[in-house]
Amino acid sequence: MPEPVKIVVYRTTLVRLPGRYTRSAFGNHYECTGPDGRRFTNTSLTTLRDVLKRRYGKVNVSVVDQRA
């Protein structure tokens, strides 16, 4: 049975301009690099995890908080 792929996801704060379609001016931004060098970004950790599972199969995701 293959081992799960270990991926480190970095969380930062995304500052948006308040506008018509935003609920707040702040949000989370998740970013990681896969084992093959492909870069993934998303504003939802759940969606990012689903994308990584579809791409690499079983994954072990660790989140590093880089918010100020």
- Residue 48, pLDDT score: 96
Per-residue CA distances from 43 to 1, 2, 3, 50 (Å):
32, 29, 27, 13
- Residue 15, pLDDT score: 78
Q: Per-residue pLDDT for the chain (68 aa), expressed as one digit of tens each?
A: 789 999 999 999 887 776 666 666 678 899 999 999 999 999 999 999 999 999 999 999 999 998 76
- Residue 2, pLDDT score: 81
The residues spanned by each domain of the chain are 5-65
Per-residue CA distances from 27 to 6, 8, 45 (Å):
25, 19, 12
- Residue 27, pLDDT score: 83
